Structure 1
């Protein structure tokens, strides 16, 4: 392990958020593979269930924004309105499709206004299952000569349970079948959720659990020392939104860091903030380049600000950029004239 200027070992993990989703449409096998090849340590996946209870990799239960289902006349009657975790959404929902039907769909770019190059790949890739991603992780581990872990999220688990499609049993079964449970799984695994109850259902896997924290008021208690102590009773790590670690000031630039990382570490928790993106559109204004919103800005400075605080990993759409930023941070090289 390389060391930073303070001579401290910092095993910062690169979590390929939906794969290399800055370079390929998210949640496709091509995106997952590229994330690993670009230096990612983990393939991060969101899991939702089909009508027949199969786990597929999509950002949400609503699949109209990430597949070509809206252009498929044979599925036009599946368009409906559902309320998921208090939010009413109209579209197409994975729970209304069998896995066989899902396999006929093709992935499309979700953030097409910013990632126009990804949108050119609309239709090139199918919709992967959890089992396929596990198989890919094993294959890449063998080929690359280093472990490529998986980092699944149970997406809206309480909603799924209410629909009779509980996510946790299917996830546990798939992991157990692949030898990915217990204290020494065949590959590194983290399991994540925004819902503590879902994580408690996964405790029997003996895998490290990650409690995700948003910026809404309902999460703020868990950023306090008392709340972090509660989290430590059932999880190994927190995955906070970046703004909970370094808030932005009135101009949208990085402000003064909070004590969240220090307090989490004191509670015995790892810290994996989300989500790092390299485009000007997503960067603080003072780190943007003078080019367009889709062009890259000073992303390395943002990574370094979080690395300096001692975060243990980062969720990123650009694994290669995170890898290079980590390498420079851990082992700075002088600039030659």
Structure 2
């Protein structure tokens, strides 16, 4: 099976080296670069003053110490985000200056207890700071460090007057990331914002696909439908690749082991699309049964074995919380 790009599988550091540092922190991104990742991946949400910052969600109580700040107690609220009620503190209700007073914390303390030692040490980074990190580190090391941002909840943010496109494209222009060959991919689980970006930029776009459900802005489509040969041909009219839930590439059987690969990679390549599945993590909790090292969900299993099985399907890249292990498994 032919890959759509020459060379080795690219390693995308999922929220940085988030298996070893609190996700979406400069420390996490820096460690990922040091471990050899080709791209670092920030999820982008917006502040009240329209600044792009990196958080897994716009609701930030799970990833920051905001709940401990008495001065922000009255900001706690409930909202409907992509059809689901969420309660907590939201980036769009804070200015950048206010968010910078917060400190990040580990999102999965039950699985990654060692990461909690870093709680309270790092700020929420802006997208500009992440681009600057990639540029500066690349200049020092002689490597090209790519950036792989995801627009989070773009239709929601547009509905409240904070669309991603203008600040995102302005920063890409400032950093010279404007060509199809530039070391950047923009990804989204939604459809229409990718189509809008296609009309405004040459950089590579990635349609994210989950195992089930629908894009928030296109409830008429399901992700499984989008993953069919016909659906992939439609995606190819506005995107350069797909980022599928890895179960769409190799599903697990009833015992929890990897089953037979689907035709997704073959069909995507036939449509001219790159394939970058997510997310590869070393904890037993996330691994196939045959790759687990024991019953402790926190212990590290054989992540390399899982990654090698997926590389054998012809994927072009992969997202991992553990860049060092992913780089080693790709045998580069």
Q: Which residue of 1 aligns with 2:131?
A: 134
Partner residue of 2:193 out of 160, 173, 198: 198
Pairwise mapping of residues 1-337 of structure 1 onto structure 2 (< 5 A)?
A: 10-185=7-182, 188-203=183-198, 204-217=200-213, 218-290=222-294, 292-327=296-331
Q: CA deviation at 1:269?
A: 0.3
Partners of 1:290 and 1:48 in 2: CA distance: 38
Partner of 2:219: none
| Structure 2 Cα separation of the partners of residues 300 and 213 of structure 1 | 23
CA distance in 2, matches of 1:90, 1:193: 23
1:257-288 alpha-carbon deviations (Å, 9 max, x no partner): 10000010000000000000001111112210
How far apart are the structure 2 equivalents of 1:143 and 1:249?
Answer: 46
TM-score by length of 1: 0.93
Q: Please state whether the residue corresponding to 1:202 is helix, strand or coil.
A: helix
What stretches of structure 2 of length at least 5 have no aligned partner?
214-221
1:184 Cα shift? 4.7
| Structure 2 CA distance for partners of 1:152 and 1:9, relative to 1, 3 Å | closer
Shift of 1:11: 2.3
Consecutive unaligned residues of structure 1, counting only runs of 5 or more, are: 1-7, 331-337
Partners of 1:298 and 1:275 in 2: CA distance: 15
Structure 1 residue 169, shift from structure 2 partner: 1.0
**How many pairs does the alignment contain?**
319
User: 2: distance between equivalents of 1:71 and 1:158?
Assistant: 30
Q: What is the CA-CA distance between 1:290 and the residue it aligns to? A: 2.2
Displacement, 1:39?
A: 1.0
In structure 2, the residue matched to 1:3 is: none
Partner residue, 1:334: none
1:83-129 C-alpha deviation (Å, 9 max, x unpaired)? 10001011000011000100000000001100001111110100000
Aligned-partner Cα distance in 2 for 1:50–1:201: 22
Question: What's the Cα RMSD here?
Answer: 1.2
CA contact (8 A) 1:105 1:127 kept: yes
Query: TM-score, normalized by length of structure 2?
Result: 0.94
Look up the SS of the partner of 2:310 in the other structure.
Answer: helix
- Runs of 4+, deviation exceeding 3 Å: none
CA distance in 2, matches of 1:309, 1:32: 28
- Tell me, what secondary structure is at the counterpart of 2:138? helix
When structure 1 is superposed on structure 2, of 118-127 and 287-296 the one drifting more is 287-296
1:10–1:310 contact (8 Å) kept in structure 2: no
Give me the whole-angstrom Cα distance separating, in 1, the residues matched to 2:321 and 2:206. 19
> SS where residue 43 of structure 2 aligns?
strand
CA distance in 1, matches of 2:181, 2:313: 29
Residues 228 and 184 of structure 1: CA distance in aligned 2, closer, same or farther (over 3 Å) = closer
